[in-house]
Amino acid sequence: MKLAVCIYEGPYNHEASDSAYNFIKAAIVKGHEIRGIFFYHDGVYNVTKLMDPPQDDRHIANRWSELGASGIDIVVCIAAAKRRGIVDDVLVPNVRISGLGQLTMMAIEADRMVIFGD
Amino acid sequence: MSEENKKKIMFTVRKPPHGTIYVYEGLEVKLIMAAYDADISVVFIDDGVYALKAGQDTRELGIKGFEATYGVLVDYEIQKVFVDRKSMEERGLTEDDLLVIGEDEDTEEPIRPKMVDSSEIAAMMAQQHNILSF
Amino acid sequence: MLHTVNKSPFQNSSLESCMRFTQPGDVILLMEDGVYGAVSGTAKAPLVEAALARKVRVCVLGADLKARALNDTIKGTEITDYAGFVDLVAENKIHSWL
């Protein structure tokens, strides 16, 4: 089944990002296709390479980048990102900034869209 | 694409406006998605019904309002706009308290969101391809 | 339909609202702070008990229970993991009660 995931909250501050990550890992193990991951609202902060968490904590941005490296399309909303100072220069590799049209295509093309937020 | 083949996408709005950005940025998604081939509906539940209250004035806050944009939803071809009856009643609101989302092309009568029962909303939800909450 | 609820019922009314829109055969998944709604013997336990009585399945994300040191869940609720969450999504249309 084609699944898409949308994340609305920033990293560390809210469990949404962790829930989404755990869900996606489990979906991949089960053989589902991840049509895309879309970051909206404060979710856009999930993929900045400027984050530098303590060594003994998870590195949320790197985790997303690794999923992107595996071929999953990870999209950051341009309108939400610009508002919050997230631009191409600060993104981790394997994610891209694009428009809400991408969210629309995911909502239309994926069999299920799962939203993680507050 | 014929009406039957369009994917049904529903938006649910359950948060009040202005205290957080969810309603505002959620509206941006609706306007973009309306340009695509999808059968869009929007349902306001719980504090989400406050997003539709007429007469919002955010000037003193210094933040951008969106009442004007909601006022032209119909022009964006978003016509399936519903409010949950119980959420309205709990908050002492009636249909007259709600802003106008457009006007009828022929009669020029104002169009307001349609008040429906939770059972109708539940039935609509079950028919959707995907539901986005804001 | 699958309904996900991620708020404590002591904090806000997401669980209560969600219940109004569930039909017999639907599934509620309690996750994140939503798992507090699954604890037996609390003032909010009747919400989940009423759902179960209406033939609505109530699943609870085990990882969120463990993280919060919760183990006494309401009889009739089903504890699941992320793989189970994925299966619920595959089997049902979903609405997140954010």
Where do the domains of chain B lie? 3-133
What pLDDT score does B2 carry?
Answer: 63
Element (H, E) at B118: helix B118-126
What pLDDT score does A103 carry?
Answer: 98
What pLDDT score does B105 carry?
Answer: 87
CA B88 to chain centre: 14
Give yes or no for residue C84 having a pLDDT over 70: yes
Nearest to A113 among B21, B28, B130 (CB): B130
Regarding pTM above 0.90, the answer is yes
- Give residue A47's pLDDT band: very low, low, confident or very high (50, 70, 90): very high
Query: Using one digit for the tens of pLDDT, what is the confidence trace for B73-109?
Result: 999 999 999 999 999 999 999 999 999 999 988 999 9
Give yes or no for residue C92 having a pLDDT over 70: yes
Mutation target for B interface from A13, A38, A40: give the one with most B CBs within 10 A.
A40
B118/C21 CB distance under 8 A? yes
Two tokens at C34? Answer: 């939503």
Do B116 and B82 touch, CB atoms closer than 8 A? yes
Query: Using one digit for the tens of pLDDT, what is the confidence trace for C48-75?
Result: 999 999 999 999 999 999 999 999 999 9
Look up A6 and say whether it is catalytic. Answer: no
Give yes or no for residue B3 having a pLDDT over 80: no
Do B82 and B51 touch, CB atoms closer than 8 A? no
What pLDDT score does B5 carry?
Answer: 81
- For residue C28, the cross-strand partners are C3, C58
Domains of chain C, each with CATH number or no CATH = 2-97 (3.40.1260.10)
Query: Using one digit for the tens of pLDDT, what is the confidence trace for A56-80?
Result: 999 999 999 999 999 999 999 999 9
Question: Per this entry, what is the length of chain C?
Answer: 98
Tell me, what DSSP letter sits at residue A118? -
Whether A6 has its CB under 8 Å from any CB of chain B: the answer is: yes
Least confident of A14-18, B110-114, C3-7: B110-114
Give yes or no for residue B1 having a pLDDT over 60: no
Closest C-alpha to B11, from B99, B82, B65: B82
Domains of chain A, each with CATH number or no CATH = 2-116 (3.40.1260.10)
Query: Using one digit for the tens of pLDDT, what is the confidence trace for B27-48?
Result: 999 999 999 989 999 999 999 9
Q: Which CATH number fits domain B3-133: 3.40.50.720, 3.40.1260.10, 3.40.50.1370, 2.40.30.10?
A: 3.40.1260.10
Tell me, what DSSP letter sits at residue A99? -
